[in-house]
Amino acid sequence: MSVNEANIQVIAIPLAEIEPNPDQPRKFFDGAKLEELAAQFRTVGQLQPIVVRPAGDKFQIVMGERRWRAMHLVEGAATIEAKVVASVDDENAFIMGISENIGRADMTLMEEAQAYADLVGFGYQAERIAEMFGKTVDYVKWRMDLLNLTTDIAELVAEGKIKADFAWYLSKLTPANQKVAVTRYMKGDFRTETDASTFAQALRMKENQEGFFSEKELSEKEKEDKVKERNQAKSKVDQVERAGTLLDELAKLTPSELAELFEGEVGKHLDAVERVRKAAAEAVKKLRKAKAMSEAKQLTVRPELEVEPDAEEAEGEEEPGEVEIAEVAAEEPDEAELAAAA
């Protein structure tokens, strides 16, 4: 947002004569971060002025509310350096406020989603919003999808207890199934963020009756064939476990020992193990989705949302691994896009 420099002057304004913008898109201000900024003010002073506009007998903040709040924590501070913008309407003031806050680590996902939705209320299209803030159109739409979350789940997202990718998948579910997935999530039922997102995907498929097990009645011959297929699959898994044991033994050897053992053929064996690794990674993705589908299909209970995990279950719980969404539908974000949106 550009402002005509001729309309700007920088002056020291009493803190008491400045008020925040009630339409400021950012609602949460981390107390610890404010204290850090206040400490910087005490040491080196204010490096960047805030931006305000006249509002009756006072001034209203356009950009810099965090600095204004931090200055209140500085002992003896009575004024703050500010650029006074003579002519900025409500819409442009709002856009400037968003521009300052988009991308800040302490702007919550829900604040960002609401800010984009408010711009839509001003008449902006997602394409224009994306262009204004250097985002993709899909990013803007995915963020606004979060506004479909129930109020209690949206609060968990705003508090950082639910991450962006899982939150997006939740937003595609009915309110009842949102609570099903979040209840399990808060209890620690999922080993990773990927498992949680995959389970939410499976619930969505169940809602749409997509990709689930066939309900048709099998003939006796088909039942026999199904039993054979299951036995063959179990046998293959047993072989995979044995192969895993062999790979564990290889992994215990040092590079020097491996070079000596496989002299002249290290590359060939490396290629073989690499093929196994890729196949295993693909099988893990599909088995993870199969597990989620099986669990989702069996669900019939609609439990109430449990905001906090039980103390005993939460104790010692490991942090979730990196997000790795498996086999998303064409209209859904892929792994790289979700990472960029996080």
Residue 46, token pair as written in the block: 């204010």
User: Is residue 65 flagged as an active site residue?
Assistant: yes
- In the beta sheet, which residues pair with residue 14? 79
Question: Among 17, 19, 65, 220, which one carries the catalytic annotation?
Answer: 65
Residue 326, token pair as written in the block: 């498996």
Across the beta sheet with 8-14, what order do the strands follow? Answer: 8-14, 79-85, 50-55, 58-63, 18-19
What angle, 0 to 180 degrees and rounded to 10, lies between the N-to-C axes of helices 126-133 and 109-121? Answer: 120
Selection from 227, 197, 209 nearest residue 289 by Cα: 197
Q: What is the CA radius of gyration of the chain?
A: 27
Selection from 227, 234, 235, 23 nearest residue 111 by Cα: 23
Catalytic residues: 65
